Amino acid sequence: MTAVVRAEGLTKYYGRRRGLEDLTLEIRPGEVFGYLGPNGAGKTTTIRLLLDVIRPTRGHVTVLGAGSREAAVRARIGYLPGELALEGRERARDYLAFLARVRGGVPPARIRALAERLDADLSVPMRKLSKGNKQKVGLIQAFMHEPELLVLDEPTGGLDPLVQQEFLAMVREVRASGRTVLMSSHVLAEVEHVSDRVGIVRAGRLVAVENVAALREKAVRRVELHFDAPVPAEAFAGLPGVRELRVEGAALSCTIDGRPDALVKAAARFTVVHLVSEEPDLEEIFLTYYSEEGRDDDRQEPA
C-alpha cells in the first residue's frame, strides 16, 4: 500500500517563528483523515507544504508518489484553501467553467449537480458572494474534477448545518469510491463523524494520531434502559464496564466503558421497551490533547 501523502520531518519556520515542527505522517489511500487543532496550531502551514504552495525549512513530503509541484500530480488533487480569495466581477458559474477547462474538462452537469446539492448561487459576481456562498464555490471547484485526493482546509466554516450535512455526505461518497480526503478543522464535532483517523496538531507539533472507531469503542457512554416492569438491581450488578449503575423500578441508567455487550445480554432477560444510548463524548478525550494550549514562548526556534 503506497501512502497518498507521506511527510517526513516536515518543518516550517517563518523567520524564527515556528509554523510546523518535524511532522511525520502517512495518509492512506481511501481514508478520510481529520486534521484537528486550535487556531494557529499549524494546519494551514501543513496543507500549504503538502501542496507546495510554500517550501519547507526542513524535511520533505510526497503526494500521490511525487512532488505536488508537478502539474500531472496537481491535476489529481482537489484543494480548498483556508482563505479563499474570490474577488472578480466574474460570475461564479463562469469562474467554475474556466477552471473546468483548465483542468481538461468537467461535465457541466456535474457542476450543476454539486451547486444544487450545496444550494450554491452561481449567478452572482464573485465579489458579491456571501462568505457561505464563496465557501460553496470553493468546495465545488475542489470536488468537480473527482480528484484522487481532496485537501480541504477548514471546509465547514461558514456553512449552515444542512449544507454541512450535505458536504459530509459528499466526503463519504469520495471515500466510498476509494478516494482520499484530508480535511482540517478546529472543531472535533465537524470531523469526527466522517473521519477514519484524526491527527491532532498543537503549537506546530502533531501530538496524536487516533483511529476514530477505536476511540469511540473505548469512550464512555451513558445508557438508559426502560423495562415493561420493575427489574432487580442484582441482575445488573458487577457487569464488566458498567459504572454508576442506578436501577429505579422499571428504569436503569449507567455509564459504559467500552462495549455494551454484557449490559445488553443482562437486559435481554427482561422486556426492554425503550433504550437511549448517548454518543460517546470524544470531545472529552480530545480535550486532554488540547488542554496545554501552545504558549508563545515555546514557538521560537532555539537560537
Ligand X SMILES: Nc1ncnc2c1ncn2[C@@H]1O[C@H](COP(=O)(O)OP(=O)(O)O)[C@@H](O)[C@H]1O
At position 248, the amino acid (one-letter code) is E
User: What's the CA gap between 195 and 34, in Å, rounded?
Assistant: 6
Q: Please tell me whether residue 37 binds ligand X under the rule CB under 6 A.
A: yes
**Interface with ligand X: number of residues (CB under 6 A):** 11
**Among 38-46, 64-72, 90-98, 246-254, which window interacts with ligand X (CB under 6 A)?**
38-46
- Please provide residue 173's backbone torsions phi and psi, each rounded to the nearest 5 degrees: -65, -40
> In the bound complex, what is the minimum distance in angstroms from residue 50's beta carbon to ligand X?
12
In the list ligand X, Mg ion, none, the entry touching 14 (Cβ below 5 to 8 angstroms by class) is ligand X
Q: Please tell me whether residue 157 binds Mg ion under the rule CB under 5 A.
A: no
In the list Mg ion, ligand X, none, the entry touching 291 (Cβ below 5 to 8 angstroms by class) is none
Q: Please tell me whether residue 123 binds ligand X under the rule CB under 6 A.
A: no
**What is the largest distance, in Å, between two alpha-carbon atoms of the chain?**
72
CB nearer ligand X, residue 124 or residue 208: 208
**Interface with Mg ion: number of residues (CB under 5 A):** 3
Q: Please tell me whether residue 156 binds ligand X under the rule CB under 6 A.
A: no
Q: Which of 5, 7, 19, 21 binds ligand X (CB under 6 A)?
A: 19
CB nearer ligand X, residue 269 or residue 295: 295
Q: Which of 38, 40, 59, 82 binds Mg ion (CB under 5 A)?
A: 82
Question: Do 12 and 45 contact (CB within 8 A), yes or no?
Answer: yes
Cell of residue 27, nine digits: 495518509
∠ CA 164-26-61, nearest 5°, is 100
∠ CA 190-192-193, nearest 5°, is 90
Q: What contacts 109, CB < 8 A, 6 or more positions away?
A: none
CB nearer Mg ion, residue 173 or residue 293: 293
> In the bound complex, what is the minimum distance in angstroms from residue 69's beta carbon to Mg ion?
22
Cell of residue 283, nine digits: 470531545
Helix (H) or strand (E) holding 136: helix 131-143
Question: Do 150 and 114 contact (CB within 8 A), yes or no?
Answer: no
Q: Which of 36, 51, 24, 3 is nearest to 200 (CA)?
A: 36
In the list ligand X, Mg ion, none, the entry touching 19 (Cβ below 5 to 8 angstroms by class) is ligand X
Over the window 33 to 52, marking each residue x when it contacts Mg ion by CB under 5 A and - when it does not, the resulting string is ----------xx--------
Edge-to-edge strands of the sheet including 58-63? 17-27, 5-14, 58-63
Q: Which of 97, 164, 98, 88 is nearest to 128 (CA)?
A: 88
User: What's the CA gap between 226 and 249, in Å, rounded?
Assistant: 9
Q: Please tell me whether residue 60 binds ligand X under the rule CB under 6 A.
A: no
Q: Which of 23, 32, 41, 174 binds ligand X (CB under 6 A)?
A: 41
Q: Please tell me whether residue 280 binds ligand X under the rule CB under 6 A.
A: no
**Among 39-47, 127-135, 242-250, 279-287, which window interacts with ligand X (CB under 6 A)?**
39-47
Q: Please tell me whether residue 85 binds ligand X under the rule CB under 6 A.
A: no
Interface residues toward Mg ion, by CB under 5 A: 43-44, 82
Interface residues toward ligand X, by CB under 6 A: 14, 17, 19, 37, 39-45
